[in-house]
Structures are given as C-alpha cells and as structure tokens.
Structure 1
C-alpha cells in the first residue's frame, strides 16, 4: 500500500473493557461508522481501498478485533451474541454515541443482534454478504465449509470471495489480494484456521441464525437497513434477503454482478459510494 492510505497507516490502539483489551483502529472524520469483521477475519481483512473510500465519503471509520482474536485479549468465541457484546462495549468505551453499524459475514449477524439489543446506539445498519435470521430459501455451499477450515492460498481466496469463472472478478481478486497481503508492523495475527474450523460445523445449516427475536426487530424497526451482496455468495446466498424484502420495511438491497462472499473487496469504491448514498439520502 502507498503512504497515502489513511486506513493502512492508522495506528493500532487499545481499550480496556470488562477485563479484556480490545484492539481497534480509527481513521477519518465525519459520522462514526463501526465495522464488524468476517469469520476468520481481523482488522487487516478489510481492504484498505474500501476503507479509504469510506473516509473519502465523509465517515470516521473504526475497525477492531473480536475478543481473543487478532490483537485483542480475552476468551475467543464465534458465538454471535458474544461478538455483539464486544461491539456494544467497544462503542460505549470509545464514546462513539450513535453509530452507523456495519458487519460482514458473521459480523453482519453480530450487527443484527446489536440492533436488537441496543437500538439506541444504531442510526443505520449496513450488512455485507451476511445472512438474515430464520429459515432460509437457499443454503450456502459445501465448498465454503471446506475452504473455511484450511489455510487459504490465492485460489481459495478467489473461490471464497470472488467469482472464479469471471475474468474481471479474478483480476479484482488479484488486486485485492496484493493489498491485503501488504505487510504492516502492527498487523493482527491470523485467526488459527484449526480452531475456527472447529467452530463452524461440517456443512450448511438451515437456519444458520435461528433467532426469531432478531427477525421480529428487523420486521418492526425504523432503523434503515442496507444489504450489500453478491450474485454468487457461497456462504450466505443473497436470495435469502430478497425472500424477506416484502417483510422488512426499511431494507435496501444492492447486489453486485459476477461476485462472491466479498463484494466490497471486488468493488471497493462502488461499495463505499453505495453506503454513502444510503446514509446521506436517509439522513445522518
């Protein structure tokens, strides 16, 4: 990455919360936007071009590592309720007030739980390649579960987050891979794939997220909700959001073509602009 990247050069900071230390980075100025990362992700799993574009759109962006993962201390878990607890306590500790809350993959599940548990701290909900609560009309693919349990090379990266059959998607994957593998001195340690895989299960589930109370909140909330998805997400098919579109009164859906489980990796500028349009058109 170049020296001009605001997000890549942002220092890692730490805050003590309930007997553990949460690592985070904050950069930019404007409305506070906090992002909850994907399964096996850390602060360094966010493409810096996507983050820099969010800053250019007028947001103060915060990324962080969940408890016990990356540079954060404490007990590690992929229980979405505990990830939501991390999120709520970090927002409180940093005195961010009411935030635009974003979440990618399992981070999107955690973000939905935050909305249900602490709606007073969420102004807008931005979900990226995640799943809604309840029964699904389409499950994910076995391939995701196979790839998520092993150390991943570039081809795995393409299969997980892009569309392998598309030349343009592959080209975007190469650019994103190069950005994400750039070294920084205070990089977060990778999440151990052996441990993470043991939390995942052997194959697709239905439902993945069986929390009726959260689905009820999505059906009754006045908080605007945006889902940025892909036309071929092997983990969380976007079709499940379309199936709920007539039941969720504040839901906006954007689906990117020839893309996979990381649409913001493939379309970093467009994704940031869609988020900004969503926020600004509905008021901050």
Structure 2
C-alpha cells in the first residue's frame, strides 16, 4: 500500500519503481480522500488521513498489509501504525521524519515557495527532489520522462483545497514536539527508513531520528541524492524494499 507525497496523485509514482516492486507482490497505489480524482474533501489532519487509509484497506478486504509512505505519506504511514497497529505487517518510511521533527528545512525560504507553486514546473521539481549535481539532475529528468509515458486516463492535478489541507495537517504534525517519541517507541512492526544523502524538503537528519526512536528499524541513505532518491535509484531501492519485505514472510 503506497502513500504518496505532498499534492501527489497515483500518477506521481515512478512506473519503473512500481513495475520492479510488482514483480514479486501486489502493489496498491491510491488517492486518499479528496486527492486528485478521489471524491470528498481532503482532511486537514494526518490522523484522519490514516483512518481514511485504514477504511480503504479494510474495504479492499485486507486484514494486514505492508505500507510505504513517502514524505507526507510517511507521516500517514506512521499514524496508521499508531492507530491501527494490527493492520501493518512491515513499513517503509521514505523521505520523512517523526512527529515534532523539522519538516521543511529552513535554510532556504525558496523551498516552501516552490513546493506550493501552481503549476509546478520542471525546474521546480528538479530543484526540490534532486541534488544540484549533473548525475542527480540527469536522473531526475529520466524519471520525469518515464512518468510522462503514462497517458491512459491520467489523474488530474490535486486541487487548492488538497494543498491547503495537507499543508495545515503537516504543519500541525511537525509542531507537536511531545507525542512522537513515545508513540514510535511502542511500534511493533519492523520498519525500513530510507532517504537521500541531502534532502532539502525534509532534512535527512529526521530519517536518522526515526531510526533512533523506532525499536526495530533499518536505515539506508542513498548517495548524491535528495528527497526524490527513490526515483533516482528505482532499481536499487526496489531491491532493498524487496529484501526487507521478504525477510519474514509475505503480507496478504
């Protein structure tokens, strides 16, 4: 079960990454309530987003799943583990951090400005998700080209309501400096934490903090990469995810 990043729809996932993962298991990407073509209004609470995801999982007939949350999707995945622990077998938290951590890094005010632009341009995405090096930028362009090949029933862009609700939910989640460590310390599910070596969206240090707080966690950092490391290294990341998920049997 895949939980996407800020403002993203199902079409924002890397098809190469999804195809690699789907070789060994069922992969379900979905738009949570109000996102893109999904009905309703996007809630302004991470907890509500997690409950909505739990309802969706139950409606599909699954009692237990593996989850992968990317960016804001990583906070939703964490809350799913807190609020519905029996539902999560294993979790992958990519480019995210614990409740109360630093969300958008404050070293450059341009980050927040670009992240909320409409529409997001090619150069904006390459700035936010990839390192400003020739190799990382080339990988970013290759990812966007792969993503652009999906032209059957394309998902519409998420609305201003979704952006505002997700921004409010994220701000509230990051501002809570007290609850995160205790909740993470009670998580029973094994967790794989992954990020780029220098994530300007959600600082890489937050991934290490997750690793410190979770009782059963592994941490992988990918070189010369940022927030979009999983799109820069789709084959390698898929291999690491497969190894992690296969370690103790399969989800339903």
Q: 1:85 — aligned with what?
A: 51
Unaligned runs of 5+ in 2: none
Measured in 1, the distance between the counterparts of 2:88 and 2:171 equals: 29
1:153 counterpart residue number: 121
Aligned match of 2:35? 69
Match of 2:187? 221
1:281 to 232, 242, 247: 247
Match of 1:105 among 68, 71, 80: 71
User: Secondary structure of 1:180's match?
Assistant: helix
**Which structure carries more relative contact order (alpha carbon 8 Å, separation 6+)?**
2
Return closer, same or farther for 1:212/1:112 CA change in 2, 3 Å cut-off: farther
- The normalised TM-score by structure 1 is 0.79
C-alpha distance in 1 between matches for 2:147 and 2:164: 22
Question: What are the Cα deviations for residues 141-171 of structure 1, in whole angstroms up to 9, with x where unaligned?
Answer: 433211111122111111111112x111111
Q: Is the 8 A contact 1:35 1:103 kept in 2?
A: yes
Q: Distance between the aligned counterparts of 2:177 and 2:38, measured in 1?
A: 27
In structure 2, the residue matched to 1:35 is: 2
Tell whether 2:229 aligns with 1:263: yes
CA distance 1:206–1:252, change in 2 (3 Å):
farther
Is the 8 Å Cα contact of residues 21 and 27 (structure 2) preserved in structure 1?
A: yes
Report the equivalent of 1:23: none
Q: Distance in 2 between matches of 1:270 and 1:224?
A: 20
The answer to which structure has the higher strand fraction is: 1
Q: How big is the shift at 1:194?
A: 7.8
1:140/1:47 CA distance change after superposition, 3 Å: farther
2: CA distance, partners of 1:261 / 1:161: 5
Q: Is the 8 A contact 2:90 2:191 kept in 1?
A: yes
Summarize the alignment of residues 181-192 of structure 1 with structure 2, pairs less than 5 Å apart.
181-192=148-159
> Deviation of residue 213 (structure 1)?
4.2
SS of 2:39's partner is coil
Specify the alignment match of 1:249 in structure 2.
215
Distance 1:131 1:216, change over 3 A: same
Deviation per CA, 1:31-56, whole angstroms, max 9, x where unpaired?
Answer: xxx00111110000101000001012
Task: State the shift of 1:75 in Å.
Answer: 1.4
**Superposition deviation, residue 212 in structure 1:** 4.2
Shift of 1:227: 1.1
* 2:92 match: 126
Runs of 5+ consecutive residues of structure 1 not aligned to the other structure:
1-33
Q: How many correspondences in the alignment?
A: 247
